Amino acid sequence: MAIDQEFAAPSRAGAAGRPIGTWARRYILAVLTAVYALNVVDRTILVILQEPIKHEFNLSDTQLGLLTGFAFSAFYSISSLFIAGLADTGVRRSILAGAVAVWSLSTAACGFVGNYALLFLARAGVGVAESGSVPTSQSMIADLYSPAKRGGALGILSCGIFLGHFVGLAVGGWVGAQLGWRSTFMLLGGFGVVFALVIRMTVAEPARSESAAEDRPSLWAVLTLLARSPVFVNMAIGSALYSAMVGVNNFMPSFMMRSHALTLGQVGLWLGLIGGVAGAVGATISGRATDRLGRRDLVRLPWIPAAMMALATPFLILGLTTGNPVIMMLAYFFPSMTVAAHIPPAITVANSLVPHQARARAAAVVFLMLNLVGASLGPLFIGLLSDLLKPRYGAGALGIAMITVFLGAAVWSTCHLMRASHHLRRAAALQTG
């Protein structure tokens, strides 16, 4: 079958896929989690390698913030809306395999660039291709698992974030220290192309619970529906501001190297272990809590990220102000555990507001907010503030910038999350009344 034919809207039989057994369902979830991990590795690899890149191209922290944030996230966010439309009707395993192949080739291209502008463009290419991963995976999970078990499955999928962080930071830091940053990008890109072939040949297309070809709402209709919902608006803004934690994570390797004189290999290993273990635990807790609270009502779901952020705040401040690297890394365990706590609740709430045929695009709108606000602006604001404070505070400027941006985002985020809970309670009262 030609690629353009397979990616087009299929017939009803093609859209339906086939029923998936228990073990096949588990295999698909494992593959989707691995895809998410590779997705994060390709993002994170630049974060751990940014100091040698900074020195080779003589970059400022603002340029690093644009490179690790905006260059990827802005293009990722915008293109995800359109690729998610394919996920609502197309052959999702092929969309996923194609996305992995393209972003892996773009990652390999990062190793060949000769200046900052070309590296920026290569990262934008990674962002465009990776935008097809998460909405497509979540659409498949929505057809593989019942609503009662979907939050747990999304929690497992979110573990890919932390597996990816571990591999990207620990392995990427070690390979970067041994072979250099350019070879690291090339090797990672080559692996991704091979993995894309495995996905295409071994993953089955799940049966859709409804025909996506019938009564499929337009993208504009989905956006309008979500924009008119005070629940969604507040939940999305609160989750987006929560994701400013990404900016802290992006600059943490640079902070550790500058403030504690740690090597690239040491930073990668310790951040990889902390982020991988703590993050997986936190994502699993958030997914299970989403299932348990969501079975009773949705009102309490915004409380999950709000509570996790309250837990993270004092430990993050301790980690960024202590002069002891051991205390810093132990304290950072708790912020790492909470970094993705907003994802299962936000996706569950969004899915509850739209028809089946629009799930992938609703998820894409959520991630549009997460990436445009948190993942794009978080690193940029930290970089800008660090450059502004550097003449006065020197090497300590980066830590002050990280704390300032995080605290501002945390307070603002909590306000919107509580408003989302309030509107959910009002909606529930109207339904029962």
pLDDT single digits (tens) 168-208 = 888 899 999 999 999 999 999 999 999 999 999 888 788 77
Give the per-residue pLDDT at 358.
76
Q: Residue 93 falls within a domain, yes or no?
A: yes
Phi first, then psi, for residue 10 (nearest 5°) are -80, 170
Average pLDDT over residues 395-405: 92
Phi first, then psi, for residue 207 (nearest 5°) are -70, 140
CB 247 within 8 A of CB 374: yes
Instruction: Inform me whether the pLDDT recorded for 9 exceeds 60.
Output: no
Give the per-residue pLDDT at 187.
95
Structure tokens at 232: 């969604």
Give the per-residue pLDDT at 137.
85
Domain count, the chain: 1
Phi first, then psi, for residue 206 (nearest 5°) are -65, 150
- The residues near 179 (Cβ < 8 Å, ≥ 6 apart) are 187
C-alpha–C-alpha distance, residues 137 and 126, integer Å:
17
Instruction: Inform me whether the pLDDT recorded for 158 exceeds 60.
Output: yes
Q: Residue 414 falls within a domain, yes or no?
A: yes
The 10 Å CB-count burial string (b at 16+, else e) for 136-150 is: bbbbbbbbbbeeeeb
Structure tokens at 419: 């408003």
Q: Which of 164-173, 253-262, 327-336, 356-365 has the lowest mean pLDDT?
A: 356-365
Give the per-residue pLDDT at 337.
83
Structure tokens at 330: 């132990």
Q: How many CB atoms lie within 10 A of CB 17?
A: 18
- Stronger pLDDT, 357 or 94, i.e. the higher one: 94
Phi first, then psi, for residue 90 (nearest 5°) are -85, -175
- The residues near 133 (Cβ < 8 Å, ≥ 6 apart) are 35, 36, 39, 96, 99, 100, 103
- Stronger pLDDT, 294 or 105, i.e. the higher one: 105
CATH number of the domain that residue 122 is part of: 1.20.1250.20
With a pLDDT cut of 70, the percent of the chain lying above it is 90
Give the per-residue pLDDT at 140.
85
C-alpha–C-alpha distance, residues 234 and 227, integer Å:
10
CB 36 within 8 A of CB 160: yes
Instruction: Inform me whether the pLDDT recorded for 126 exceeds 80.
Output: yes
- Stronger pLDDT, 301 or 88, i.e. the higher one: 301
Q: Residue 172 falls within a domain, yes or no?
A: yes
CB 144 within 8 A of CB 16: no
Q: pLDDT tier at 10 (50, 70, 90 boundaries)?
A: very low
- The residues near 244 (Cβ < 8 Å, ≥ 6 apart) are 373, 374, 377, 378, 405, 406, 409, 410, 413
Instruction: Inform me whether the pLDDT recorded for 2 exceeds 50.
Output: no
Q: Which of 38-47, 354-363, 371-380 has the lowest mean pLDDT?
A: 354-363
Give the per-residue pLDDT at 400.
95
User: Which DSSP letter does residue 116 get?
Assistant: H
CB 242 within 8 A of CB 405: no
Range of the domain at 321: 20-206+217-432
Closest listed residue to residue 153, CA positions, set 317, 32, 295, 4: 32
- The residues near 59 (Cβ < 8 Å, ≥ 6 apart) are 53, 67, 116
Q: CB under 8 Å, gap of 24 or more: what pairs does 181-185 form?
A: 181/49, 181/52, 181/53, 181/56, 181/111, 182/111, 182/112, 183/111, 184/45, 184/49, 184/111, 185/45, 185/107, 185/108, 185/109, 185/110, 185/111
Give the per-residue pLDDT at 1.
34
Average pLDDT over the chain, rounded to an integer: 83
Q: Residue 325 falls within a domain, yes or no?
A: yes
Q: Residue 137 falls within a domain, yes or no?
A: yes
Q: Residue 55 falls within a domain, yes or no?
A: yes
Give the per-residue pLDDT at 216.
65
Q: pLDDT tier at 368 (50, 70, 90 boundaries)?
A: confident
Structure tokens at 163: 């597996």
Find the helix packing angle between 397-432 and 245-260, rounded to 10°: 160
- The amino acid at residue 175 is V
Q: Residue 8 falls within a domain, yes or no?
A: no
Give the per-residue pLDDT at 5.
35
Give the per-residue pLDDT at 431.
62
Half-sphere exposure in the Cβ direction for 426 (13 Å, CA): 9
C-alpha–C-alpha distance, residues 150 and 141, integer Å:
7
Q: Residue 390 falls within a domain, yes or no?
A: yes
C-alpha–C-alpha distance, residues 386 and 50, integer Å:
15
C-alpha–C-alpha distance, residues 70 and 3, integer Å:
31
Collapsing DSSP to helix, strand or coil, 101 comes out as: helix
Give the per-residue pLDDT at 189.
93
Instruction: Inform me whether the pLDDT recorded for 160 exceeds 90.
Output: no
Give the per-residue pLDDT at 213.
45
Structure tokens at 294: 């969501």
Give 261-308 pLDDT, tens digit per residue: 899 989 998 988 887 788 778 777 877 777 777 666 778 888 888 888
Collapsing DSSP to helix, strand or coil, 18 comes out as: strand
Q: Which of 5-9, 86-90, 150-154 has the lowest mean pLDDT?
A: 5-9
Give 213-236 pLDDT, tens digit per residue: 455 677 788 888 888 889 899 998
Continuous H helices in 171-263: 172-179, 181-202, 219-227, 230-242, 245-260
